[in-house]
């Protein structure tokens, strides 16, 4: 399953060099994951959380290839990867500008309960992962 989200780079996203500050790429990726999960499950992230499934980043590996700049129109592409277990999901993400790869990453997610203990992801989320 794939999600795509268009974003615009605003002044608040940039650093003193006029390019997107590195941590803001993670924010773009978060938006892409949230939109994909909401679209795919028909439930908002808030609804998923209220049901006792708190989704947290366990690991983020990001490669910065080219900078995004002020007022660039970019697209966040998010894919579920076939790796993982009922306790860990892997997602591949890319930030593109007019077909050019700017940033890519693999994000590992875990699901937590209200006491911040790892629990299985709900079946409707696990079913989004492609078969290995």
Range of the domain at 6: 2-126
d(CA 23, CA 96): 17
Residue 90: which H helix or E strand, with range? Answer: strand 88-97
Residue 132 lies in a domain: no
84-129 pLDDT per residue, tens: 899 999 999 999 999 999 999 999 999 999 999 999 999 999 999 9
Residue 28 lies in a domain: yes
Residue 112 lies in a domain: yes
Q: How many domains does the chain have?
A: 1
Length of the chain: 132
27-47 pLDDT per residue, tens: 999 999 999 999 999 999 999
- CATH code, domain with 79: 3.10.129.10
This prediction has a pTM of 0.93
Provide the pLDDT for residue 131: 79
Give the other-Cβ count within 10 Å of 110's Cβ: 18
Provide the pLDDT for residue 132: 54
d(CA 47, CA 97): 32
Give the other-Cβ count within 10 Å of 5's Cβ: 19
Residue 30 lies in a domain: yes
Catalytic residue numbers read 15
């Amino acid at each position: 399953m794939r999600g795509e989200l268009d974003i615009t780079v605003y002044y608040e996203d940039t650093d003193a060099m006029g390019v997107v500050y590195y941590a803001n790429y993670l924010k773009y990726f978060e938006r892409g994951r949230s939109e994909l999960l909401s679209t795919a499950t028909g439930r908002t992230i808030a609804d998923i959380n209220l049901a006792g499934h708190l989704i947290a980043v366990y690991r983020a590996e990001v490669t910065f290839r080219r900078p995004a700049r002020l007022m660039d129109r970019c697209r966040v592409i998010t894919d579920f990867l076939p790796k993982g277990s009922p306790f860990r999901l892997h997602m591949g993400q890319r930030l593109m500008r007019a077909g050019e790869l700017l940033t890519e990453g693999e994000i590992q997610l875990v699901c937590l309960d209200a006491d911040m203990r790892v629990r299985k992801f709900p079946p409707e989320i696990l079913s989004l992962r492609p078969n290995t």
